[in-house]
Structure 1
């Protein structure tokens, strides 16, 4: 069968256009604006877009300090990125901070490469900085009990705060997932469950309720009443409770109970504690992954390595009677 030369030539021209970088000079700010527009069109979460906005803004400030050619992104090369890393290290920035900037920069320049703004990604030959694989601080059971016993449940605020902390403690849910919960996401049928719709990895998940969480959430929702919106956690003005407000409330309970002097009281500390307690209880790592919504098992493996009781049990085997 004879090929249609017209179509073939047209396709070849299109591919040639895509593969060739644009001759038009484009600066860092223009390219970043296009990239963020692309992120919004692609439907990335607001948190992800904010992450890119923040990291790209901090990156360009550093580029200015090291005299990188931001007026033409085609002129940025690997040596500029290496100077950028050294600059951040001299400022004493944490490894996690530097790696976050590198991830954002690599993604941004991959976009520039696809758009034809640059000939090559200057981040391609740059590796992430090595870091110690550690698990952040967690609460002991006593510390957790002190926090959960602190709210005055005779008041609406106290009952709400207990419901918030107990949800964090008994589900391991993320702060953004917590603030996005709606009343209809909580079900009391059977043993009850929470349906997390706005997950970080975009995959919703179901988390069964513990007996205590079921009781407290039912009492809170009855006290919350019927409003003209369906946000689960609200303030005294009946508006949705923000993540910042929750962080502030948790810090206050850390001060009141004294736990804050021992461990930083934050939503993520509750999440880490949930993982730790589940691992110590022998929960299967794949079940724990489904409960927490971790996309990778890498982080959960760290909890297993540190907190699993299997090592203590295994070390005694084979030495009975010796």
Structure 2
């Protein structure tokens, strides 16, 4: 059986992922998590010079080490997922004869829904930008797109001008979705008006990214996060809820569930691969329990 050390196998695995056509974000995920895992393996003396020597007991020690560092459960689970996939690759290559992650379970997490904005908080944020300036109009268009579509940050930064159509009711076409399935999200009346105004102000440029800086360059995800934090501090909303792109996405899901939107339609709008997360919103924010509790007791 061929022998290999951890880092050489990781390099080969990442090359395999790229050749296989996995998304850039997925490759970055594996790269990041496997690097972090390697650092911890070194700290706790896991024998990384020979993958065949890595056993389940080492993975258990790794998890305990992560817990001692107060790593979040989601973070540890991400590293478990990345490690299991990587060692499955090593198994197929013949570098090991058993995956040390086979007997390792994901850590159990409490199924909660993160913080969302109230309608009052959302209105404060959307009223904050000075739309007499290009930056203010752009920031309103960004926040309104997040709020009215539930789009992910990576999807938003990948939008091009041609992905927005104003025919009939208008729509945004998500071409670079997380699950690689393109989807269409119709525009609300207000979003249609704001995006039209923004695109007119943006003008025709060599760069076709929808959201740009004042230097006419694509605006990055980090810059958008910083802008949202600034509006959160400016309005005082951040004292109650951390203002982030994902908070807008969670709020979109909550408001749609509260409005009675069918969960399968909501899944198509948000691009969730599984219904599990959306079911949590239904459990907490669905109105069917209040309606059902009175049924059968009308005459009593």
How many aligned positions are there? 300
Q: CA deviation at 1:321?
A: 3.1
CA distance in 1, matches of 2:193, 2:248: 20
- Distance, in Å, in 2 between the alignment partners of 1:26 and 1:118 is 9
Out of 194, 209, 225, which is 1:216 matched to?
A: 194
Q: Pick one of 149, 161, 165 that aligns with 1:183.
A: 161
TM-score by length of 2: 0.99
2:34 matched residue in structure 1? 56
- Which whole-Å CA distance do the structure 1 matches of 2:252 and 2:165 have between them? 21
Residue 111 of structure 2: aligned partner? 133
Question: Does residue 91 in structure 1 map to residue 69 in structure 2?
Answer: yes
Partner of 1:146: 124
Task: Tell me the equivalent position of 1:207.
Answer: 185
1:136 counterpart SS class: coil
| Structure 2 match to 1:105 | 83
1:43 paired residue number: 21
Q: 1:297 aligns with which of 258, 270, 275?
A: 275
Q: Deviations over 1:25-78 (max 9, x none)?
A: 210000000011111111111111111111001101111111110000111010
Per-residue deviation, residues 148-168 of structure 1 (Å, max 9, x unmatched): 000000000000000000000
CA distance in 1, matches of 2:184, 2:136: 26
Superposed counterparts of 1:136-175, under 5 Å:
136-175=114-153
RMSD over aligned Cα, in angstroms? 0.6
Q: Distance in 1 between matches of 2:109 and 2:148?
A: 30
Task: Give the Cα separation in 2 of the matches to 1:141 and 1:134.
Answer: 20
CA contact (8 A) 2:47 2:54 kept: yes
Q: Which portions of structure 1, spanning 4 or more consecutive aligned residues, are displaced by more than 3 angstroms?
A: none
TM-score by length of 1: 0.92
SS at 1:260 equivalent: helix
Distance 2:92 2:225 in 1: 39
SS of residue matched to 2:103:
coil
Structure index of larger Rg: 1
Give 5+ residue unaligned stretches, structure 2. Answer: none
Greater displacement, 217-226 / 84-93: 84-93
CA–CA distance in 1 between the matches of 2:33 and 2:116? 28
* Separation (CA, whole Å) in 1 of partners of 2:66 and 2:46: 14
Verify: 1:240 aligned to 2:223, yes or no: no
- Measured after TM superposition, the shift of residue 180 of structure 1 is 0.3
Aligned pairs for 1:281-292 (under 5 A) are 281-292=259-270
Segment drifting more, 103-112 vs 37-46: 37-46
State how far apart, in whole Å, the 2-side matches of 1:177 and 1:74 are.
Answer: 40
Please tell me whether residue 80 in structure 1 is matched to residue 58 in structure 2. yes
2:233 counterpart (255, 262, 279): 255
Q: Which residue of 2 aligns with 1:8?
A: none
